[in-house]
Chains A and B, each alone.
Chain A
């Protein structure tokens, strides 16, 4: 690791971590006591529940609706019981449920049979996911040399998965290491995951398991042809966080946008629902070796990037804490931030660089995700290209992990093919031209950058102390994040949260807790 440039006080960093731990503790207590419809549906998907009925209702939703209030006992035992009772495979049972079978009406077999079957089903799921992890590791290692550092991340968003494939393959050939398929507007607010391949969306494409599969296959082909492992990204956010995580684990996605508080603040999803869901989703991501990307950039599109820089750092600490609580190692934490300062600010570049370097020194193992300028991009594509160059410079010189490429036509239209090319060309020029800049440079003692980083860290600690005084739920309600108030019982999805019964049964949850070494009850 490169030695510190900012000369940050290690005690202060430790203090911020300790505060985050205290902030997360009561939330963890709540999480442990509750399940949600999304967690139950995810578990059902892990067992093999899939497909839709003739009205288009996904089978996992259908089952959870049948179970109703009794999800407090866990949905698993109902589904496994039905498998045993009927002597069917999951595929066959899904069809029966689609045709109207109500699995809650069946008598229960002896619980020991359910437990025994559960073991086998957990094993089946785990084997599949472990094979995906092994495959990815092998390919990443094989093609390590061809990879850019930071990884170059490009977006496609046509609404039609087959069009997305064409654009994604072209983007990969142009040099992208990572392809994200933007989700259609509003999918995060659906309390179910659509099914099958889709060709219509608004501003993006539906996240469905079939779409994941189609894109995965396409990127594997392009990867093999170009001698690279192309990473695939989607959105593990909204009301179906853990379900999307299961699909990603099964279809070998490599990254997921997955923030512990984004849905609450920016999508008005209920806070209890989000906290409970995010944990299980992160457990699954962790097990599947999927890098999460947190959404701190969103704070800066709302608030001023100079004044509110500390909210980004504070959120990174909180996201890190919640990730650790879910068994997610630092190397899978793509904590986010963004280059969003007003370009008219004198020395704005130094402030941006101090912030990026600070993130890199506080979270040295995390593959930080750095987002390009959007807020101050105008129709002036030439200025935009210049801003993107400075952004790329900071990304490389502060060792960011994932570089979301800026588009010179940001704020004008969804990128043309040539816009992506110019984005990649710009980044490659900078990455090569300043390859060892970071190693060769020291920051001036007590200069603008060191002073700035110190100030932001102090403000971060102050802010975390204030949150800790009230607790995180109160803090969110009290408008402390992103200048928006989210009432504890407001927002979408609270009705999908249930307190676990004493004999709540979820062998998949338990399996992951053990695999990931998550300590309980602290």
Chain B
């Protein structure tokens, strides 16, 4: 089935657009907006509104019609695994785990850069994505920077942690690999590895590397708090953790 945008008649191909051009507002600018929209492949182009934004910029509202259509039957989508959002994570915990979960995070070893762990854990979060501290169903403890691995484990035990997050920003001379490996070895020696969800994060840490090192997951650049939270709660559920 071939389809096109619908205005008020099937297959009329009507599209509304708005954009800014870096030129002063004038009749010439309006004409430029029309010609540009035609170049995009539209016909019957109309600038219905234009307005100066400054001496050098003009804003346009434009309508046009297009002949381009698409065969809807040939559209395929890949089902991507989407993280739960803030509300989704909290509801998931309420429904499936039925108690608050405890997450402990730190920049362990010699790393003094808390920007990553803070972005994930601080209330404020970053880029409009709330940090784990803001999740009502998560008790989040951000221990900060330069926490020895031994202390991190001790604290996690004390707090009855369900998950541990380790952030590593500094990767000079592969110092992060040594530190991350050391942490997992200590955790295994204490017999705690299987009791906790353990994640590594940092700009140069990918999921593949983390899995190789014995972590449950690795989170790199572009990770938001809800990505980490979703992973933790789903992993806990998968392992049959409750109460």
Contact = CB atoms under 8 A, between A and B. Distances in A.
Given A174-B54, A268-B142, A418-B59, A302 B115 contact: no
Contact of A418 (B20, B119, B123, B144): B20
B226 interface: no
B59 A185 contact: no
A322 B136 CA distance: 29
Interface string B124-146: 10111010011010000010100
Given A186-B118, A492-B144, A482 B57 contact: no
Contact of A203 (B54, B118, B126): B126
Given A189-B114, A418-B18, A418-B53, A266 B128 contact: no
A482 B133 CA distance: 10
B128 A411 contact: yes
A266 B59 contact: no
Interface string A342-372: 0000000000000000000000000000000
A374 B54 contact: no
Nearest to B140: A484
Interface string A266-286: 111000000000000000000
A262 to B, nearest CB: 9
A266 B57 contact: no
A185 B119 contact: yes
Nearest to B56: A170
Interface in A292-321: 298, 301-302
A421 interface: yes
Contacts of B119: 185-186
Contacts of A425: 51
Interface in B118-174: 118-119, 122-124, 126-128, 130, 133-134, 136, 142, 144
Given A418-B18, A492-B144, A482 B128 contact: no
Nearest to B22: A417
Contacts of A482: 123
| 7 cross-chain pairs, A with B, having the tightest CB-CB distances, nearest first | A266-B123, A418-B59, A170-B54, A266-B124, A418-B20, A186-B115, A421-B53
A483 B139 CA distance: 11
A302 B123 contact: yes
Given A186-B115, A189-B118, A416-B20, A170 B123 contact: no
Contacts of B136: 483
A428 interface: no
A173 interface: yes
A265 interface: yes
B123 A268 contact: yes
A265 B123 contact: yes
Contacts of B128: 374, 411
B133 A484 contact: yes
Interface in A174-191: 174, 185-186, 189
Contacts, number: 58
Contacts of A418: 18-20, 53, 59
B23 to A, nearest CB: 13
Interface of B: 18-20, 51, 53-55, 57, 59, 114-115, 118-119, 122-124, 126-128, 130, 133-134, 136, 142, 144
A186 B117 CA distance: 11
27 contacts: A170-B53, A170-B57, A174-B54, A185-B115, A185-B119, A185-B127, A186-B115, A189-B118, A266-B122, A266-B123, A266-B124, A267-B123, A268-B122, A268-B123, A268-B133, A268-B142, A298-B124, A302-B130, A302-B134, A411-B128, A416-B20, A417-B54, A417-B59, A418-B19, A421-B51, A421-B53, A483-B136
Interface residues of A, number: 25
Contacts of A416: 20
Interface string A460-488: 00000000000000000000001110000
Contacts of B115: 185-186
Contact of B53 (A189, A298, A417, A492): A417
Contact of B57 (A189, A267, A411, A417): A417
Contacts of B123: 265-268, 302, 482, 484
A56 B30 CA distance: 51
B126 A421 contact: no
Interface string A404-417: 00000001000011
A483 B54 CA distance: 45
A203 B127 contact: yes
Contacts of A185: 115, 119, 126-127
Nearest to A491: B144
Contact of A267 (B59, B124, B130): B124
A203 B127 CA distance: 7
Nearest to B123: A266
Q: Which of B19, B53, B122 has the most CB of A within 10 A?
A: B53
A173 B54 contact: yes
A203 B119 CA distance: 12
A418 B57 CA distance: 9
B47 to A, nearest CB: 14
Contacts of B134: 302, 484
B162 to A, nearest CB: 18
Contacts of B122: 266-268
A484 B130 CA distance: 13
Contacts of A265: 123
A265 B124 CA distance: 9
A421 B133 contact: no
A154 B131 CA distance: 25
A170 B55 CA distance: 9
Contacts of A492: 144
A121 B70 CA distance: 74
Contacts of B57: 170, 417
Interface in A240-287: 265-268
B114 to A, nearest CB: 7
Nearest to A377: B128
Contacts of A170: 53-54, 57
Nearest to A173: B54
A499 to B, nearest CB: 24
Contacts of A411: 128
Interface in A415-463: 416-418, 421, 425
A385 to B, nearest CB: 12
Contacts of A417: 20, 53-54, 57, 59
Nearest to B143: A490
A517 to B, nearest CB: 35
Contacts of A298: 124
B190 to A, nearest CB: 25
